Amino acid sequence: MEGIFQTSQNRFVDVNPSMSHILGYTTPKELISQITDIETQLFYKPNDHQAIVQLLQEHDVVINYECQVYQKDRKLIWVAI
């Protein structure tokens, strides 16, 4: 099960069903509509989001970046991006 997502700025544009399931949402549409600020609503440490954006800008890819994110119920889980 791999979560696949696309973002623009600080919002989700598209997510697959696995991504919504991993984060505890019923559907991709629910996740996209409820998370309106990825940095503060999803990431436990907002600087993780900034680090991922920087890696993308510098290398065009992020491999095995591990961090904690919140599920819908605010439970923390570890993910590798």
pLDDT given for residue 73 in this prediction:
98
Residues in the chain predicted with pLDDT less than 50, given as ranges, are: none
Which H helix or E strand runs over 30?
helix 28-34
**Residue 77 tokens, joined:** 């889980």
Torsion of CA 38, 61, 63, 18, to 10 degrees: 50
Rounded to a whole number of angstroms, the distance between the first and last alpha carbons of the chain is 13
